[in-house]
Structure 1
Amino acid sequence: MFTKNQLAIAIIAATPALALAANNQEAPSETPVTKLNKITVTAARTAKEVNEIAGSVSVIDTDEMEKNIARSIRDMVRYEPGVEVSTDGRTGMKDFNIRGMDGNRVKILVDGVDQARSYQPGGNYIRSERSFIDVDALKAVEIVKGPASSLHGSDAIGGLVAFRTKDPADYLNKEGNDSYASIKGGYASANKALTETLTLANRSGDLETMLLYTRSDYQETETYEGADVYGSGRGKADPLDAGLNNLLAKAQYQLNEANRVGITGEFYQLKTETDLRSSTPDNVKGDDESTRGRIGVFHEWEANLAAFDSMRWQFDWQESESHMLTRMPTYNSGRTTYPNRLQDYTYTEELFQLSGQFNKALNLAGLDHQLIYGFNIGRNEVTNKNVSNNLDDGSSFQKNYIPLVTAEKYALFLQDEITITDRLTVTPSIRYDQYEYKPEATAGFTGESKNSDAGKATGRIGATYQLTDTLSTFTQFSQGFKAPDLNDMYHSEDSGRGYLIKANPDLKPEESDSIEVGLRGSGRLGSFEVAAYFNKYKNFIESVTSQDPKYPFGVIQYQNIDEAEIKGIELSSQVWLDELAGAPAGTTFRTSLAYSEGEDTKANQPLNSITPLKAVFGLAYDDPSEIWGSEVIWTLVAAKDSDDIADNEDNSKFATDGYGLVDVTAYYKPVKSLSLRAGIFNLTDKKYRVWNEVRNASSDVNMDRYSEPGRNFSISAKYEF
């Protein structure tokens, strides 16, 4: 078992790599791509190498996704300590957990466009998630760890996940007319997923176009084992059939040397049919559809004016919808008999978003400044409808948990990167956000409809200092905030079963302050990064139950009551074993580790969202011919101590065991145009559970249902024309 006491062992294992990477020898002229020299365009709102950022940023690009044979957002972060993705057997991928913050406290962007929030007013039949993403359409995902509100606004209180979709230029030669086509197919045994992707790209004169289409069919992700029984004692995953379609189309035109315009169209659709055998009653059927459509335009201008050197504006329309149909047969629960009924639930967000950014380089008082400033304007209309149809007598009843809400948001931001000396760079930034919620009472909603508005300024200051030619340090102080969720503010319900849910439109935004310090090194033998952080949160929104004689089970209302602290350490390194020990050229060893602690300081209890210590070690070989390569990855995850689990969640303090996993991936290119990839995951057939999947599990279920797949494999083939 891998326990918390083995933290020292993992650090010791990684220390040689850190020491070797920090050597003072010159890096080779062609430095291999590592985490430190990957490009981020989100963390500082301009293209920079990760080693220039005063903070922790992870960039997972197309090459890494394909190398790891990633078919989902969870696969993408499989080897990224400090980041987890939770799942649900019915709705699929749910949300990100970054350093113990998850749900709507982590902001998600696609090409700079805000994504729909998770909405879960209660029950397995009334929910919508945030998994409107197809991996094959992505060229990179950037993960900013810690508060990022000073540049990206509300919901980035716990971090930021920015997806960037592929562009025509990613497939075409740098200049001249060109065409590209590829077909890709893959299979994953864990959920019997069969995936096909077609990509077309073309440049004719100054016009670049691209069309990418993915089709995927899959079933439920298998558990390790468990009896094939119905009800809460079921140990297997509920049967599921899913079909995914994703279409991405882009056209970009170079008007002249200074101006470029483009248009993007995107459509995502996921249909699932689920046999909810683990529910009550145990023969419920689910028929769901999630869709996301987007049309966006942009304009880039290299102006070289006094006010700005370059600018970019974009306007996007997006609609995200979750539609759940649940067929529930007649059953008895205590004294209540529920009829044969069809639950019809829809949640929709329609967004209009306009953003602009301006860049200006100037020299003031002998110091070089790189100014970035801009604005964001958004209008989001949120609707929900919940209709219960009695199939026995043909009657129906509509009950909406929140009203129709129009959310308007306005923001201004400014960042200044100041070069103090050739070694010291200081980057302050500030942003002001104003939001207003305008609810309208609609059919099925009987609660309070009161406007709510608030404004919040957040700031950040970061600094990087080059200690030597190969060693640098960074530090930053950053603030975050999160506007209240609509469910917290407006959910109003007299259940008729002894409890009342009361709205609270006067909720204040949640807030956070974060301090982070780090050390980086890059030399002839490798590279490393180590960072320590301390985050403090206040005005956390949690449900509070008060007593009322009319409601024996209490009156429930969301309030700003909780405060929390999270602290931790992360490290990563990569060593070139060919330079160090004379291993075959192309042999590398990588390590990474993440450890954190969190506490609800008001309740004096641990935070259940904190994930256990995780370490990853990888030994890889890439042949210099680029024809073939392979990697063995060892992942260690600590046990979740029962003392680190809060008492207020109904999981009977179920604590997951520690575990170790061995994965093997390989690729082979028999000809230049054909790439073959394969991976065996959980090679030793280990039975294990992920803490993030079980922390909210009911105490009366069979925990085998939350076990992860045993030994499984994935394969893919890609042919480029």
Structure 2
Amino acid sequence: MNRPTLLVSALWLALAATAHAETAADASADANAEANELERIQVTATRSERAIGDVPNTVDVIDRERMETLLVRDLKDLFRYEPGISVGSSFGRFGLGDIRVRGLGGNRVRIQTDGIPVSDAFSIGSFSNANRNFVDLDTLKRVEVVRGPTSSLYGSDALGGVVSFITKDPSDYLEEGKDAYFGFKIGYDSSWDGLFGGATAAFGGERWSGLVAVSHRQGQETENQGEVGGTGSARTQPNPQDLDGRSVLAKLVLETSENQRFKLTVEGNEDDTDTDMLTSRGRQALTGAINDSVIARDHQSRARVSFGHEMDAIDAGFADRLDWQVYRQDSQTTQYTREIRSGLAPPTLRDMREREFDFDQRAYGLQANFGKDFSTGSAQHALSYGLDVSRTETRQKRDGLRTFLVTGATTPVMSPDVFPVRDFPISKTTTAALYVQDEISFADGAFRLIPAVRVDRYELKPQADNIFTEDNPGVALSDISETSVSPKLGAVWHFNEDWSLFGGYSRGFRSPPYNDVNIGFTNAAFGYTAIANPDLKPETSDGLEAGLRFSSAAAYASLSAYYNRYDDFIESMRFIGFNDDGLMVYQSQNIAEAKIYGLEWKAGLELGALSDKWNGWSLRGAAAWSRGEGRGPEEVEVSPGVVEERQVTRNLDTVDPLTATLGIAYDRENWGAELAGRFVGRKDRVSDSSLYQQAGYGVLDLYAHWAFAPGATVNMGVFNLADRKYSEAGDVPLVNGTSTLLDRYTSPGRNFAVSLSVNW
């Protein structure tokens, strides 16, 4: 238990330095804007524009300028220096996918773009993996992360937190007296031999304004530090890949008055990946066949159109301000795999196996938010309320064809499947929610009390088409209707001009997923079947958080402690016994509970406030320490040959070890540089002592930027300066500690990136 003590000690050392800085010479306004993260404006945590220092949650904001400085190209780059947030990736084919917040990830974290949730993740088997990496970061002006349960404002899937992507607007580029803007960017990243480029154009008039942003990227597989090449399962070097992606963002804004505007948004993003699966070649252990060739082609796309209306000042008794939007969003993942096999007896069985996986979601929705300010006695109220209605249709299908190359005969049978199949029926989900939140200010704003509650109605209606019915004869489907109430109570107390306390309680939930309620498989030949579970309950959480903040003209610091308890976790396809036909029966059930707790620290200091000799120098750092335990039924051998089911408590493998970052930067008017370090402790708490426990590591990165002409800037970065061999926590699956394949999951060695941005 000494690590939390070390973090607390580090915080108080930082606070002592910031308190000394407060008594030094006043920093300039520009320096304060750079140094003080707590003054950044966010909208996600309270659905209103508030400085981070005025909200009762831990919130991270990464703006466009910071993304440019850090040469952010993907989700890993985005959260590289945000301890407590990690991004997982898979080796060999599917790449980036999962965002974990405080140890919880997958569909338990809400990811949204301009308030619209992105598609779900879904994976089944080694040929099918639909992730949630649907957003081109070049189209964003800001990213906000609210850590911890946030269902009181965002409903289901905000069990672990919210990651909110906010896209660019014309007003971000059109300054006073400027009615046109054009800019472009080109760049290169050596870690994936990637080239990227984009262009942005904005225009404006008295009432109309618009924006168009396009981008393109192409490259190869991301490097690791594996040393074993060749073909077969022993390969640790990455499989060869060709990557190609593009995106477009277009907005048209009509401002009918100073306080009213209408906005039409069209957005599209797609990525294609071709992979030569060298790791899948060679003799297959289960069948004895030899894979002569395995080729994979993956396509992912998302398109949305939305129309919104904003009014900043209205003379109405029910609201002072409002905004609403309607939207449609289509997301699709298609993955094709082709295997050519030989080594079979008789030789006429030499075959080509083609598999195709398709997962798509189509969503329609309406969101409306209202705000009203009023007073009751000496208390000031900022009331927010609204509704969120959406309808989503989810379809998933696996198809396949086996062709015997000697005879030319074909069959859709590839044991245990007879294609096409659906692993769950076509599912339509409808959600309708109402929320209300009141920000109550006392003592001229020194104390803020923030109660909130949201009521969600969730309905699931499955549809059994011919594909599902033929593959699952006699399987009964279940509808789901659930109502969930999510309360929240937060508080912020500015007990001093520079110091404040914050904290509160929040409730989270996640509705039973369609693919858990109605599992679709029956295979008599292999002796198993699955049944629906109409009695599944929502997963829930109760979260407590408290913290201390310091904020001055020269420095900021924040320390928070949290405790989250999760109940009724759903285990998919759990074995529950045998039916009357002797088949093993599987069913999704609420069986597990978990708790995750920890400490998070973040601080920054403008050194020029201590002495004029340090003008331009600044420090920033962050750290996260956490622990997680899960409890659920497991079969335990209590004596030789005797097995009982008991409740077992184990460490959660998704919780990261102690992580910290520290950076020192020097900035002048036209150029600057930053040395940033990432430090991770050993992952010594795993669910099973036989699993691989990652070693601790430290990595240094160096950044520089130079505005060499008006509107022209070069950004450069060198990563892993010391060429360390290490693996990030989210990249290593649950593998045995003696595995010979651990080098597969290593991060790139020393690499660099550079970009050139020009605008006028």
For each residue in 1:595-646, what CA deviation from the matched residue of structure 2 results, as whole angstroms up to 9, or x when unmatched? 00000134211111101110111111111x2x000000111101111xx111
Query: Alpha carbons of 1:109 and 1:662: their partners in 2 closer, same or farther (altered >3 Å)?
Result: same
Q: Which amino acid aligns with 1:128?
A: A
Match of 1:637 among 680, 687, 698: 680
Give the drift of 1:507.
Answer: 1.2
Give the drift of 1:497.
Answer: 2.9
Match of 2:332 among 295, 307, 321: 321
Instruction: Kindly indicate whether residue 378 of structure 2 is the aligned counterpart of residue 366 of structure 1.
Output: yes
For each residue in 1:247-283, what CA deviation from the matched residue of structure 2 results, as whole angstroms up to 9, or x when unmatched? 0000001012342101000111101101122235473
Instruction: Kindly indicate whether residue 431 of structure 2 is the aligned counterpart of residue 409 of structure 1.
Output: yes
Give the drift of 1:87.
Answer: 1.4
Query: Alpha carbons of 1:331 and 1:367: their partners in 2 closer, same or farther (altered >3 Å)?
Result: farther
Distance across 2 between alignment mates of 1:327 and 1:698: 30
Distance across 1 between alignment mates of 2:402 and 2:539: 41
SS at match of 2:700: strand
Q: For residue 309 of structure 1, what is the aligned residue in structure 2? A: 320
SS at match of 2:338: strand
SS at match of 1:213: strand
Instruction: Kindly indicate whether residue 739 of structure 2 is the aligned counterpart of residue 694 of structure 1.
Output: no
Query: Alpha carbons of 1:384 and 1:698: their partners in 2 closer, same or farther (altered >3 Å)?
Result: farther
Instruction: Kindly indicate whether residue 750 of structure 2 is the aligned counterpart of residue 711 of structure 1.
Output: yes
Match of 2:694 among 636, 656, 665: 656
SS at match of 2:443: coil
Query: Alpha carbons of 1:6 and 1:211: their partners in 2 closer, same or farther (altered >3 Å)?
Result: same
Q: For residue 637 of structure 2, what is the aligned residue in structure 1? A: none
Alignment of 1:60-459 (within 5 A): 60-88=62-90, 89-120=92-123, 122-174=124-176, 176=177, 178-279=179-280, 281=291, 283-301=293-311, 302-330=313-341, 339-392=351-404, 393-396=409-412, 397-422=419-444, 423-445=446-468, 446=472, 447-459=475-487
Q: For residue 618 of structure 1, what is the aligned residue in structure 2? A: 663
Q: Which amino acid aligns with 2:64?
A: T
Query: Alpha carbons of 1:18 and 1:282: their partners in 2 closer, same or farther (altered >3 Å)?
Result: farther
Contact (CA 8 Å) 2:11, 2:559: kept in 1 or not? no
Query: Alpha carbons of 1:405 and 1:142: their partners in 2 closer, same or farther (altered >3 Å)?
Result: same
Q: Which amino acid aligns with 1:614?
A: T
Contact (CA 8 Å) 2:270, 2:301: kept in 1 or not? yes
Q: Which amino acid aligns with 2:650?
A: Q
Distance across 2 between alignment mates of 1:388 and 1:296: 36
Instruction: Kindly indicate whether residue 615 of structure 2 is the aligned counterpart of residue 585 of structure 1.
Output: yes
Query: Alpha carbons of 1:695 and 1:267: their partners in 2 closer, same or farther (altered >3 Å)?
Result: same
For each residue in 1:447-495, what CA deviation from the matched residue of structure 2 results, as whole angstroms up to 9, or x when unmatched? 4322111010001010000111010010110010001222211122124
Q: For residue 18 of structure 2, what is the aligned residue in structure 1? A: 21
Distance across 2 between alignment mates of 1:207 and 1:71: 31
For each residue in 1:533-587, what CA deviation from the matched residue of structure 2 results, as whole angstroms up to 9, or x when unmatched? 0000100111422343899995332210101111100001111112224443110
Percent identity between the two aligned chains: 33
Q: Which amino acid aligns with 1:43?
A: A
Between stretches 150-159 and 13-22, larger displacement belongs to 13-22
Query: Alpha carbons of 1:187 and 1:511: their partners in 2 closer, same or farther (altered >3 Å)?
Result: same
Distance across 2 between alignment mates of 1:299 and 1:369: 24
Q: Which amino acid aligns with 1:487?
A: N
Task: Output the TM-score relative to the length of structure 1.
Answer: 0.95
Distance across 1 between alignment mates of 2:730 and 2:292: 25
SS at match of 1:32: helix
Q: For residue 646 of structure 1, what is the aligned residue in structure 2? A: 687
Give the drift of 1:365.
Answer: 3.3
Structure number with larger C-alpha Rg = 2
CA RMSD of aligned residues (A): 2.2
Distance across 2 between alignment mates of 1:73 and 1:201: 26
SS at match of 2:184: strand
Distance across 2 between alignment mates of 1:583 and 1:155: 50
Query: Alpha carbons of 1:469 and 1:161: their partners in 2 closer, same or farther (altered >3 Å)?
Result: same
Between stretches 570-579 and 351-360, larger displacement belongs to 570-579
Query: Alpha carbons of 1:363 and 1:385: their partners in 2 closer, same or farther (altered >3 Å)?
Result: same
Distance across 1 between alignment mates of 2:521 and 2:731: 29
Contact (CA 8 Å) 2:691, 2:734: kept in 1 or not? no
Q: Unpaired segments of 5 or more residues in structure 2?
A: 285-290, 413-418, 633-647
Query: Alpha carbons of 1:449 and 1:548: their partners in 2 closer, same or farther (altered >3 Å)?
Result: closer
Contact (CA 8 Å) 1:498, 1:551: kept in 2 or not? no
Q: For residue 652 of structure 2, what is the aligned residue in structure 1? A: 607
Give the drift of 1:114.
Answer: 1.2
Contact (CA 8 Å) 2:153, 2:454: kept in 1 or not? yes
Contact (CA 8 Å) 1:500, 1:551: kept in 2 or not? no
Q: Which amino acid aligns with 1:679?
A: G
Q: Which amino acid aligns with 1:127?
A: N
Query: Alpha carbons of 1:8 and 1:685: their partners in 2 closer, same or farther (altered >3 Å)?
Result: farther
Match of 2:710 among 660, 672, 681: 672
Contact (CA 8 Å) 1:294, 1:317: kept in 2 or not? yes
Q: Which amino acid aligns with 1:497?
A: F
SS at match of 2:257: coil
Q: Which amino acid aligns with 1:395?
A: T
Match of 1:486 among 487, 493, 514: 514
Q: For residue 538 of structure 1, what is the aligned residue in structure 2? A: 567
Aligned pair count reads 709
Contact (CA 8 Å) 2:424, 2:518: kept in 1 or not? yes
Contact (CA 8 Å) 2:250, 2:265: kept in 1 or not? yes
Q: Which amino acid aligns with 1:98?
A: V
Give the drift of 1:692.
Answer: 1.8
Q: Which amino acid aligns with 2:87?
A: V
Give the drift of 1:217.
Answer: 0.0
For each residue in 1:643-671, what CA deviation from the matched residue of structure 2 results, as whole angstroms up to 9, or x when unmatched? x1113xxx941111100000000000111
Contact (CA 8 Å) 2:478, 2:532: kept in 1 or not? no
SS at match of 2:330: strand
Distance across 1 between alignment mates of 2:344 and 2:119: 35
Contact (CA 8 Å) 2:27, 2:609: kept in 1 or not? no
Contact (CA 8 Å) 1:196, 1:216: kept in 2 or not? yes
SS at match of 1:472: strand
Q: Which amino acid aligns with 2:434?
A: L
Q: For residue 497 of structure 1, what is the aligned residue in structure 2? A: 526
For each residue in 1:120-172, what CA deviation from the matched residue of structure 2 results, as whole angstroms up to 9, or x when unmatched? 1x212122110011111010110000000000110000000000000111111
Q: Which amino acid aligns with 2:536?
A: L
Distance across 2 between alignment mates of 1:701 and 1:498: 34
Give the drift of 1:590.
Answer: 1.2
SS at match of 2:77: helix
SS at match of 1:705: helix
Contact (CA 8 Å) 1:619, 1:631: kept in 2 or not? yes
Query: Alpha carbons of 1:553 and 1:273: their partners in 2 closer, same or farther (altered >3 Å)?
Result: farther
Distance across 1 between alignment mates of 2:554 and 2:112: 36
Alignment of 1:468-483 (within 5 A): 468-483=496-511
Instruction: Kindly indicate whether residue 605 of structure 2 is the aligned counterpart of residue 575 of structure 1.
Output: yes
Q: Which amino acid aligns with 1:327?
A: R
Distance across 2 between alignment mates of 1:340 and 1:440: 33
Match of 2:624 among 594, 604, 611: 594
Q: Unpaired segments of 5 or more residues in structure 1?
A: none
